[in-house]
Homo-oligomer: A and B are copies of this chain.
Amino acid sequence: MSSPSPLPNPSSLVNSLRTSCSTCSMHQLCLPMGLGENDMDKLDQIIGRRRKVPRDSYLYRMDDVFTNLYAVRVGHFKTCQINAGGEQQITGFQMAGELLGMDAISTDHHHCDAIALEDSEVCEIPFARLEELFGTMPTLLRHFHRMMSQEITREQSAMLLLGNMRAEQRLAAFLVNLASRYVARGYSSTNFQLRMSREDIGSYLGLTIESISRLLSKFKKQGLLGVSNREIELLDITALKAMAAGTEACS
């Protein structure tokens, strides 16, 4: 693996090794999915920098001018909107390998705030330069379209959840969804830590913090899961899935 020839600048190599798409554990989920080595290098070259985002700080704010998409490298984010009445709603949680900022393309301004839920790291992708690549990299373009389309689908599911599921179903669906995303990233599907507060979960699910708390207690009592603070252990995923689907026997 290590080249025998002398290296002009070892430290920059180390840096590039640490941060290139090809060595990133998320490259099979993220934007470079399916790219060959050449194409991945080209993509690497336009990526501005890897930016650290401390917990609770903003990656971008609503109405900020849009210049970059961001790929989450490490950590978790939430995106939230504020309506005219001053109420805030969380529109999504993003984890490693997911893309942030696609809603800003239409107006060149961000439509929501993006906030780190823990100390995190993103890759800055200058959209104008990404567009230049599209002309010669159809594989990249195709996958970008898939990611945008996926975002649309994801939000349609959220609409379904908010529009006609009851509280119980919503929380079950939320937990099952988290589990599946962790599995895709090679983590346990049953044991994970909630990175967001109960309030965030409630806001995302259109419920109050009290409802979330009560439901978690209820699920615990029913033996569906274990909870301790933000530590979650899913004990009966089948039942949770059935509940989310609205097909479980009534309790």
Residues of chain A touching chain B, judged by Cβ–Cβ distance below 8 Å, are 81, 83-87, 89, 91, 102-107, 111-112, 131, 134-136, 138, 141-142, 145-153, 155-156, 158-160, 162-165, 203-206, 244-247
- In the complex, the count of this chain's copies comes to 2
Which residues of B are found within 8 Å of A163, using beta-carbon distances?
89, 162, 203-206
Contact A131 B135 (CB under 8 A): no
Considering the chains assembled together, what is the distance between the CA atoms of A90 and B246 in angstroms? 18
Considering the chains assembled together, what is the distance between the CA atoms of A101 and B112 in angstroms? 25
Q: Which of A89, A106, A151, A163 has the most chain B CB atoms closer than 10 A to its own CB? A: A163
Contact B206 A164 (CB under 8 A): yes
Contact A160 B89 (CB under 8 A): yes
Contact B153 A152 (CB under 8 A): no
Contact A102 B206 (CB under 8 A): no
**Nearest CB on B from A65, distance (A):** 15
Which residues of B are found within 8 Å of A153, using beta-carbon distances?
103, 106-107, 111
Given B81, B86, B103, B206, which contacts A162 in the complex, CB threshold below 8 Å? Answer: B206
Contact B246 A149 (CB under 8 A): no
Can you sample 5 A-B contacts with CB below 8 Å?
Answer: A84-B245, A85-B247, A102-B149, A102-B152, A134-B134
